[in-house]
Amino acid sequence: MNQEEKYIKIIEKAFSKDFPTRNNVNEVGIGDDSAIYEIDKTITKQVVCTDAIVEGTHFDLKYFSLEDVGWKSIVVNQSDLASMGSNPNYYNVSCGIPSNFKTKDFKLLTKGMKLACDQYGGVVIGGDIVKSDKIFISVTAIGSLENSGGEPDNNFAMLRTNSMPGDYIGVTGSLGNSLAGRMLLNEGKRENYFSEIHKRPSPRVKDGLNLVRSGVKACIDVSDGLHSDLEKLCKASNVTAHVNVDQIPIDDRLRVTFPDSFIDMAISGGEDFELLFTLKSINQLPEDYKRQVTVIGKMVKPNNADLIIYKNTDSEILNPTVTQWKHF
């Protein structure tokens, strides 16, 4: 058995209980040229996304274990599906790995992927393993949309293009923690609350379903930072955002640890993987879910000068320092 075959066996073993391997009459998993899956008859639309992570660009093995890397490769895609309001079903994983990689390394990578699948849904059904100087993992995730009311044509999704003037802007969780984690890791502070968040981000799959079920029509995940992703939402929907900076959800620990910069960090920091969405009224959301999201502003008719206007509660216009979160 060559090294590639060994690696395929490791993935096959990890996921074979969740999906038939080859030789099933109806479905075919890892081990053939392609995988085959059945489509539930109630589903008429599928959702597909791809996110790649590269050593040196998206993670540094000084701070990330291979299990962290495997985890991250899956959750960045779960987050993209979550932002559409979609349930993750299947993953195809393409791994570029160096010649000196060892079997135990590949097991750790697979373990991280499996943990993310178990926690947030979906199963690896195929992929490719190729030689590469630096590690890259490109995952394509396939999800399905929920049916809003029994009619097969009625599957619905949240899109970037659907924000309207008058909509409230909401966000799940709190912002800036992942950036804090990365900054502390870069300073050599390894074991702390923030660095754990940076290394093992949580995709908001359940939030995405809660939102789409409540009739939310527009959403994006915060992968490049609030400022950057809100700009994308505004551009795609042709609206301007008014954000009340005092309402941005910020973890108390972030305020304490970074007393001079927590607001800028919450506005610029990427990879929080929270969901940023707009809705007609907070009362669209179920009573017990309302507490888990924060309204941070409102969309208005497009203003040619600005995509986003930041104010405080006293309506003073602010100019927070925005730093581009760079993957590229």
List contacts with its own copies (CB under 8 A).
2-4, 22-23, 26-28, 31-39, 41, 43-54, 56-58, 80-81, 83-84, 86, 90, 92-94, 96, 125-134, 136, 138, 140-143, 145, 152, 157, 159-161, 220-221, 236, 327-328
Q: Which is nearer to its own copies, 94 or 247 (CB)?
A: 94
Nearest distance in Å: CB 198, its own copies: 18
In terms of Cβ atoms closer than 10 Å to its own Cβ (0-12, 13-18, 19+), residue 154 is middle
Q: Which is nearer to its own copies, 43 or 108 (CB)?
A: 43
**For residue 273, what are the CA distances in angstroms to 207, 224, 269?**
11, 9, 10
Q: Which is nearer to its own copies, 96 or 225 (CB)?
A: 96
Q: Which is nearer to its own copies, 215 or 318 (CB)?
A: 215
Nearest distance in Å: CB 174, its own copies: 21
- Nearest-CA neighbor of 302 among 240, 259, 231? 240
Nearest distance in Å: CB 228, its own copies: 10
- Nearest-CA neighbor of 135 among 114, 106, 112, 107? 106
Q: Which is nearer to its own copies, 3 or 65 (CB)?
A: 3
**Long-range contacts (CB closer than 8 Å, 24 or more residues apart) made by 57-66:** 57/327, 57/328, 58/327, 60/185, 61/135, 63/185, 63/190, 63/195, 63/199, 64/199, 65/108, 65/112, 65/199, 66/105, 66/108, 66/109, 66/112
How many angstroms from the chain centroid is the CA of residue 200?
11
Q: Are 274 and 224 in contact (CB under 8 A)?
A: no
* Strands ordered across the beta sheet of 86-97: 123-131, 86-97, 136-145
Instruction: Give strand pairing partners of 317.
Output: 311
Nearest distance in Å: CB 86, its own copies: 7
Q: Which is nearer to its own copies, 77 or 244 (CB)?
A: 77
Nearest distance in Å: CB 29, its own copies: 11
Q: Which is nearer to its own copies, 146 or 196 (CB)?
A: 146
In the Cβ-directed half-sphere of 247, how many Cα atoms lie within 13 Å? 20
Q: Which is nearer to its own copies, 53 or 241 (CB)?
A: 53
- Nearest-CA neighbor of 273 among 229, 239, 317? 229
Nearest distance in Å: CB 323, its own copies: 14
Nearest distance in Å: CB 136, its own copies: 6
Nearest distance in Å: CB 41, its own copies: 7
CA distance 248 to 188: 28
CB atoms within 10 A of CB 219: 28
> By three-state DSSP, how is residue 316 classified?
coil
Q: Which is nearer to its own copies, 31 or 121 (CB)?
A: 31
CA distance 92 to 222: 23
Nearest distance in Å: CB 18, its own copies: 16
